[in-house]
Amino acid sequence: QWYQRRVRGYEYVNIDDCWMERERGADGKLVANPELFPQGIPALADAIHSMGLKIGIYEDYGTKTCGGFPGTKDHIEDDVNLFASWGIDSLKLDGCYCNTSEFSTGYPAVTKALNATGRPILYSCSWPAYLHDKDKVPYADIAENCNLWRNYADVQDSWTSVQNIINWFGDNHGDLASFAGPGNWNDPDMLIIGDYGLSFEQSETQMAMWAMMAAPLYMSNDLRTLRQWQKDILMNQEVIAVDQDPLGKQGVRVYQDAKKKYEYWSRELADGSYAVVMYRRDTSGLPRPYTATFKQLNIDTKSAHVRDLFRHMDLGVYTDKITATLPPSGSCKMFKVTPIKSQF
């Protein structure tokens, strides 16, 4: 199962908060909880690396982590060097127990320390997530120092939470998309597909929208209990290919009706095609057809080949528009639209 997920693009196994002891050791170093990790983090890293995967770990820039464990403030170089010696491949740095005015120097200081180790360590920042005035978020500086960054509130195991994140990214895409690209990604938080809060349709929608946003794909679930339909969504190679498209251009919401009951998103891809999501937001009524014109989708073409990425079906050549039937309560259709060039 790990091999299958790795070839689909999932390659990091990440440890979240609360992995360490409540106090540092006598030498000032972080100590892994011996009950949770009886052989220590280096042995775990070796085991994960032996499966062809990478290991990520969590810390916090403040004096404590969000769970109340030792933070990295005043210990940046020591902690980063320790992580590198353990074979860590990714660092998530949170922002609890810290004055946000210190972020502009603190997060770059960790960048410098990571680079000094000589080990390639993916750097995930929570820098913008704690800055509530979006007009003062220094995204240019964040993109210069971080590989990915959490923008918004933590995802919860509910459709309401996922929908709020989609809404926020749709409303603020003008502030976000221009800073996304290879090596720099906005992070809407984890995929909760496989937990308890999402229906089949809502699970497809989260997967589709995260791919449209060029989001890092982190599964937050118990791999041992996934149902087959959840596995199929999480390992959908066509949707993952959109997420991992080498152009790295973040998709944006291009249309929303006046009553905010449905919306369309479009994302340009490296091969000249477009990923498109038609997403129904309202929660009442029966399935009904929706039509998106190529003009609404910012696709400059008269006709195009259209493929359904969840059903893995070529739908044929469409002219001027796409019509799809969507049930209520968070459903979507995701297409790959390949324009047909005019022949002269």
Catalytic residues: 94, 154
Number of C-beta neighbours around residue 73 at 10 A: 18
Radius of gyration of the chain (CA): 21
275: Cβ–Cβ under 8 A, 6 or more apart, which residues?
A: 211, 212, 242, 245, 251, 266, 267, 269, 309, 334, 335, 336, 337
Sheet order of strands, 90-94 included: 12-14, 54-60, 90-94, 122-125, 148-150, 185-187
